[in-house]
Amino acid sequence: MRIATWNINSVRTRVDRAVAFLERNDIDVLAMQETKCADDKFPYSAFEAAGYEVAHVGYHQWNGVALISRVGLDNVRDHFPNQPRFHKDPEKPQEREARAVGATCGGVDIWSLYVPNGREIGDRHYDYKLEFLWRLAEAVEPGTPQVFCGDYNIAPTDKDVWDRAFFEGKTHVTEPERAAFDNLLESGLAPIKHEDPYSYWDYKAMRFQKNEGMLIDFQLTGMEAGGFVDKHEREGKGASDHAPVVADYDVTRVLIDDVR
């Protein structure tokens, strides 16, 4: 099974690119983040015409996640258990955001996740991010075929950023964030293997042209898989600031012996 994860940064803006990507790379399941639209605005017909089913969670023009599958789409869930909630006003009821969608695709439990950014160290959104990650670890079932795809908004090691000094005092590289990411791995997951250093390049300061990027998009799994970052999708006019991470899975082999 070939699975991809991609922060599309507005699906309605890039729907043609997305369909072309699916066909060119022979993708079975695409986990998409930052669709930036409500459910009734999602371009379902474009993907259905290409032979895919769609599960989308979007409440308004922010966030938004989707699973796009040609190998089945069963047991669709619009959140994981105990998924935390957030509202910018702490005095108002906290709301569940459109940051997770899960489904069974071809016998594999696949999640598309858009982890909160965190904004600034000490911000309520930073605490929300950490809680989101720790709660997510509770959804891991070691020894079962699961894939947790998404934009994690964390660079797990210093080699995953183009310049560690540039991020001093900023989110994405702090010890609490990395500890929360490591906890996911200790729950029985591992990132799929690939040789590409980055998956995200900011639009600002010619970051892509200078290859000043970050590795923050991952497929975490307990199955055997290897893949690549499709850097070409970051090229050209109208590209997302993220590139898709693509992986090929042997769905018959779960790495039970590697579960820690």
151 assigned to a ligand binding site: yes
Active site residue 28: no
Whether residue 9 is annotated as binding a ligand: the answer is no
C-alpha to C-alpha distances, 81 to 6, 17, 19, 36, nearest whole angstrom: 23, 33, 31, 23
Catalytic residue among 39, 151, 217, 230: 151
Q: Which of 106, 189, 192, 101 is nearest to 141 (CA)?
A: 189
Query: Binding site annotation covers 232?
Result: no
257 C-beta neighbours (distance < 10 Å), count: 6
Neighbouring C-alpha atoms within 13 Å toward the C-beta of 145: 16
- State the sign of the Cα–Cα–Cα–Cα dihedral 183, 118, 4, 40: positive
Catalytic residue among 78, 152, 217, 242: 242
Q: Would residue 151 show up in a list of annotated catalytic residues for this protein? A: yes
| Residue 205 DSSP class | G
217 noted as active-site residue = no
Which listed residue (114, 126, 128, 200) is catalytic?
A: 114
235 assigned ligand-binding residue: no
| Residue type for position 184 | L
Residue with structure tokens 């850097």?
Answer: 231
Contact residues for 151 (Cβ-Cβ < 8 A; gap 6+): 5, 7, 33, 34, 113, 114, 115, 200, 216, 217, 242
Provide φ and ψ at 15, rounded to 5°. -60, -40
CB atoms within 10 A of CB 152: 28
- Is 177 annotated as belonging to a binding site? no
Query: Is 7 one of the annotated binding-site residues?
Result: yes
Contact 67, 30 (CB under 8 A): yes
CA 206 to chain centre: 24
What's the start-to-end Cα distance of the chain, in Å? 25
**Annotated active-site positions, please?**
114, 151, 242
**Residues of each annotated binding site:** 7, 34, 151, 153, 241-242
**Residues of each annotated binding site for Mg(2+):** 7, 34, 151, 153, 241-242
